[in-house]
Structure 1
Amino acid sequence: MAKVEELTPQQLSETDLKPRGRVYPSPISWRDQFLYQLVLDRFSDDNENQRELFDHTNPAKFQVKDKADWMAAGTKFVGGTLRGIKSKLDYLQRLGVTTLWINPPWQQHSQLETYHSDRIQEFLDIDPHFGTRQDLRDLIDAAHDRRMYVILDVIYNQSADNWFNRDEVIAALARVYQYWIALSDCDGLRIDSLKHISPEDSRKFCTAIREYAESIGKENFLLTGEITSGSMASAYIDIIGRNLTAVLDIVQSPNELTAFARGLVHPKQFFDLYSEKNLAGEYRQVGIYHLSILDDGDMSFRANKQRFAAYSTVPNLYEQVAHAVGVQLTIPGIPVIYYGTEQAFDGNEGDHDYSIEGERFAENRYIREAMFGGAFGAFQTADCHFFNIDHPTYLRIAAIARIRNRHDKIGKALRRGHHYLRETSFHNSPFSIPGQGELVAWSQVLFDTEVLMVLNTNGLENRRAEVTVDTYTHPQDSIMTFLYKSDWSNADLRNPRQNQTVAVQHHDDGRATVEIDLPPSGMAILA
């Protein structure tokens, strides 16, 4: 672990841009990564061993007695720390996460989204609520020891608004974050409020960051942010113009993914986002230009602040949540999971009690529940934690991520292959793209390797269908092996069966198919 200086520079001219200790190299491609976005104050305080584990089969056990206190706690610092994150690296790695995405540790970032800084100097130290500069470096070194990466949020727009000379602030902010790269050895930056910054300013800032990162040996430093544009095609133009690596794909995708995974829309409404019949689909197919989002800490893409699991009444909710993430892990793009999703958190602003607080206020608090418990735990609880490696959702996401992270052709096909939506037939109907609430299938194909995903989007009923696969990849007498099946036992989810197969059938018209039967909200992966 590298030692970093304790004293904070008082002026920008005092910042030392020489890397402290080793410089961890960038990944070859960010498509190979699985990102985990967390809110530092709400993730872990490293004291979970002093609290009981939440029992999802008995949610009333830790229910708060005074909802007013619980609501008020959500507007304050709850107690998460950098050391807390470090203590949970094993939990995250078991889940299959390869990259942590952390909100700014140097910014007074309350849940009311109040940014207290106008001066550059305030960006040069760690907020004491979260720990120390050494804690940040120790966390990133520990992640690198596990071959994991860390990206940090950058607050750009709010910092620059009060400056008269924008070129001056761009140069100053660039040096601030060059300093943090040197100090922390982080692997990327997510630029907050990028949509409010001109492409010219963004390009100047990103160019300065990228050049510095490359000069010290980080050849593929991630620079990403949110751009509000009508399509991924115009966003791609912004990527080039702003010198970004990729953008957060939040214009349309999260809501379409949510509706598809819940069986509420025709599958093509989601999969057409990847159609090569339009420019946006071509860019999504490539996979390196967009971060795939289901939930995040702002939910700006939703009419109301609510997680995917909110308001769901399906019996197999835990499987449905896991398989919404499973879709992200098995289509082109860089998948991002928002903390707590793996425990099926269902936070939403419907938790607000207007008899306690009469106005809509700080609604983001309800989608930023504390994983470690404290006074503002998820599901309106207190003093219990949620780091359950045996949770049904956690187990299934981990099992799917394990396939995606493989180093063989199967893993590479999932991460870098070409996406195809597959036709199906049920009850001897003609082969076609299935409708709303039916069994849906898609493939990732890389040269001679096909990985097939099948999802029952019906949350209430079983579904069986003949699913089309690539004829040339699967000649006569071929079989496909199940790599994942959501109704396996916990033991099989952790150590998949080696011998569960299905025969490939060849039809007179040249079509090749496999027959798949899945429970409500069930999913299977075959190769």
Structure 2
Amino acid sequence: MKRIFSLLLPALFLLVVAMPAHAADKRTWQDESIYFIMVDRFNNGNPQNDQDVNVNDPRAYHGGDLQGIIDKLDYIKSMGFTAIWLTPIFKNEPGGYHGYWISDFYKVDPHFGTLSDLKRLVKEAHKRDMKVILDFVVNHTGPHHPWLNDPTKKDWFHEKKDIFNWTDQTEVENGWLFGLPDLAQENPEVKRYLIDAAKWWIQQTDIDGYRLDTVKHVPKSFWKDFSNEVKSVKKDFFLLGEVWHDDPRYIADYGKYGIDGFLDFPFYQEASKIFSKSDQSLEPLYNVWRRNETFYERPYLLGTFLDNHDTVRFTRLALENRQNPIKRIKLGLTYLFSAPGIPIMYYGTEIGLDGGKDPDNRRLMNFRTDQEIIDYIKKIGELRKQLPSLRRGDFTLLYEKNGMAVFKRTYHDQTAVIAINNTNKTAKAHITNEQLETGKELRGLLADDLVRSDKNGYDIILNRETAEIYVLGKKTGLNVPFISAIIAVYVLFGLFLYYVKKRPQARG
């Protein structure tokens, strides 16, 4: 029965939506959704590489590896994610479970596996039409890198100084971040080494993109040369930059030097506050988008997120606000998957993984937990995949009052309406005929709601802490295609039972 229904589900979905899919549109990076993995903390697929593992020490290795990710690709794909981003997999100094203390830019860390494992991971991901992004660090090395004691590489590092004045760009680029040796990218030898290494991994493994760590700590002139050379290796190679800053104008300026998209930290700051507590207005999030439209050349390539490996877990924020984290996560992810940008979800969010500051926000993944959030992600992931308007459409705020918000996205002849009730009580939003085409109906795809227009417009009513994603369509009476499909399901199930009953029984 489950197999029969799963085969019919996509057809049922399309019958209900009854909207053109615009399949001719070429897939671009703004169509992706990314699952972010801290390799050591995700899944242990090969116990033979468990060196120095201690799952009770938050700063020790926990055993996650590349084989573990391969084993869970179908799990990730089933939630609708089309790409994975991995923390650095390069060989690290002792204790570098997180991957950011690199000791060799040309080797896979043995805790995670081998180069062959990485090649196989990329190959298996591509088989599933999924892309692979590696974290790449050019700003610094591990704290005790051999180059520090190599006289021939004395000028490969900046003078050891901490960053005190964070508004002084020279100090930001030349200072030692968290005491880590700061590479001098203006040195032609250093620049050549880093760019060659970046190109080598693409040539060897066929990865699809880099998440660039600590971008603002590296000169812009380096990024221009880096992006030009790296993109010459593979068509449509994606560069996602981490520029941790409050001002979108500061972040956007790096787009002039070849970096395609950026992690949207202004979005994170608003989203993490708004969705971790009820009765918070969503208008500040819309204002973030309006600024992004103004300052970025390609605002749809911004990576949106609720938390990551450098922040307190979203679940912790909700718990501190005495909120139900499951409800809060659902609302936050609904916005993440339906608003402009590339949604990035940190591993463990689908199980409500808790965690405070680093390293507590990097707990070991648990795959034997409640399915409620996972099932919800599958729904919104499928909607984002099937509705181009949720990936490519314009974005308009139709209504907002104390946390009850309605947004509209239009792409070609498809209109999606996203309604989010971020309050602690049932709420109603009235949408006028001037805001939304009259004489039609809104068909809910998350909770099967149906809203028909009257002479005054549309009244959308949602229970507390819930959301709905609608498509705008012609008014219908009986939904004949849907009813026919439901009947077909029951007929097939009846035939299945008949077949099982008539099948000869095995004899002992």
Q: Taking structure 1 as the reference length, what is the TM-score of the superposition?
A: 0.70
CA distance in 1 between partners of 2:353 and 2:77 (Å): 19
The letter of the residue matching 1:295 is D
Residue 517 of structure 1: which of 462, 465, 475 is its match? Answer: 462
Structure 2: gaps of 5 or more residues = 1-25, 48-52, 142-155, 159-182, 472-508
Match of 1:466 among 429, 439, 454: 429
Per-residue deviation, residues 113-135 of structure 1 (Å, max 9, x unmatched): 685546xxx22111111011111
| Cα distance in structure 1, aligned partners of 2:331 and 2:91 | 35
Q: Which residue of 498, 506, 517 maps to 2:455?
A: 506
Unaligned 5+ runs, structure 1? 1-26, 49-68, 214-218, 300-304, 350-363, 372-384, 424-432, 486-496
- In the other structure, the counterpart of 1:59 is none
**1:399 deviation in Å?**
0.7
Q: 1:470 to 1:397 in 2, by over 3 A?
A: farther
Which residue in 1 is equivalent to 2:113?
Answer: 131
Counterpart contact for 1:309–1:321, Cα < 8 Å: no
Task: Give the deviation of 1:231 after TM superposition.
Answer: 2.4
Distance 1:137 1:470 in 2: 54
Q: Which residue of 2 aligns with 1:11?
A: none
| Cα distance in 2 between the residues matched to 1:226 and 1:468 | 38
Aligned residue number for residue 75 of structure 2: 91
Tell me, in whole angstroms, the C-alpha distance in 1 between the residues paired with 2:432 and 2:251. 33
Residue 434 of structure 1 is matched in structure 2 by 401
Aligned counterpart for 2:135 among listed residues 138, 144, 153: 153
CA contact (8 A) 1:285 1:419 kept: no
Secondary structure of 2:91's counterpart equals: coil
| Identity of matched residues, % | 23
**Partner residue, 1:259:** 273
Which of 474, 483, 488 is residue 445 of structure 2 equivalent to? 483
Q: Is the 8 A contact 1:41 1:81 kept in 2?
A: yes
Q: Quick check: 2:41–2:364 contact (8 Å CA) kept in 1?
A: yes
For residues 289-319 of structure 1, the C-alpha deviation after alignment (integer angstroms, 9 at most, x for no partner) is: 31112111112xxxxx343444246564312
Q: Matched residue of 1:272: which SS?
A: helix
Please give the residue correspondences for 1:249-288 in structure 2 after superposition, counting only pairs within 5 Å.
Answer: 249-250=264-265, 252-261=266-275, 262-263=277-278, 265-275=280-290, 278=291, 280-283=292-295, 287-288=299-300
- 1:123 match: secondary structure: strand
Contact kept in structure 2, 1:191 and 1:225, CA below 8 Å: yes
Residues of 1 paired with 2:81 and 2:127: CA distance?
14
One-letter code aligned to 1:327? Y
Report deviation, 1:265: 3.6
Output the amino acid matched with 2:268.
P
Structure 1 equivalent of residue 194 of structure 2: 173
The separation in 2 between residues aligned to 1:314 and 1:284, in whole angstroms, is 36
Deviation at 1:193? 1.3
TM-score by length of 2: 0.73
Which is richer in helix? 2
Q: 1:29 to 1:467 in 2, by over 3 A?
A: farther
Alpha-carbon distance in 2 for matches of 1:365, 1:404 = 32
- Tell me, yes or no, if the aligned pair for 1:502 and 1:514 is still in contact at 8 Å: yes
User: Does the alignment pair 1:307 with 2:288?
Assistant: no
Q: 1:314 to 1:188 in 2, by over 3 A?
A: same
Shift of 1:264: 5.4
SS of match in other structure, 2:113: coil
Q: Deviations over 1:5-31 (max 9, x none)?
A: xxxxxxxxxxxxxxxxxxxxxx84211
Q: In the alignment, which residue of structure 1 is the partner of 2:367?
A: 386
What is the deviation of 1:413? Answer: 0.5
Could you list the per-position Cα deviations for residues 345-392 of structure 1 after superposition, in whole angstroms to 9, with x for gaps in the alignment? 12114xxxxxxxxxxxxxx12000111xxxxxxxxxxxxx3255x521
Q: Aligned partner of 2:29: which letter?
A: W
| Higher Cα Rg, which structure | 2
Counterpart in 1 of 2:382? 402
User: How big is the shift at 1:467?
Assistant: 3.4
- 1:226 is the counterpart of 2:226: no
Q: Tell me by how many angstroms 1:521 deviates.
A: 1.6
AA aligned opposite 2:371:
H
Tell me which amino acid in the other structure corresponds to 2:138.
Answer: Y
Could you say which structure has the greater relative contact order, defined with CA pairs below 8 angstroms and 6 or more residues apart?
A: 1
1:369 pairs with 2:363: yes
- CA apart distance, 1:95: 0.9
Work out whether 1:450 is the aligned partner of 2:406: no
Report the alpha carbon displacement of residue 506 of structure 1 after superposing the two structures with TM: 2.8
Match of 1:247 in 2: 262
Q: Are 2:310 and 1:334 aligned?
A: no
Equivalent AA in structure 1 for residue 367 of structure 2? F
1:74-113 alignment runs, 5 A limit: 74-108=58-92, 110=95
SS at match of 1:212: coil
Q: Which amino acid aligns with 1:248?
A: L
Q: Which amino acid aligns with 2:462?
A: D
Distance in 1 (CA, whole Å) between partners of 2:315 and 2:296 is 22
Q: Once superposed, what is the RMSD of the aligned Cα atoms? A: 2.6
Deviates more, 1:219-228 or 1:129-138: 219-228
One-letter code of the match for 1:462? K
- The residue that corresponds to 1:190 in the other structure is 211
Shift of 1:244: 0.5
CA distance in 2 between partners of 1:182 and 1:313 (Å): 48
Q: Deviation at 1:179?
A: 1.0
Q: What do the CA deviations read for 1:214-236 (whole angstroms, capped 9, x no partner)?
A: xxxxx211112112444223322
Q: In 2, are the aligned partners of 1:37 and 1:101 still within 8 Å (CA)?
A: yes
Q: Does residue 413 of structure 1 match 2:385?
A: no
Aligned partners of 1:285, 1:321: CA distance in 2, in Å? 30
The answer for the alignment partner of 1:37 in structure 2 is 36
Equivalent residue pairs, number: 399
Structure 1 residues 71, 43: CA separation in 2 closer, same or farther (over 3 Å shift)? closer
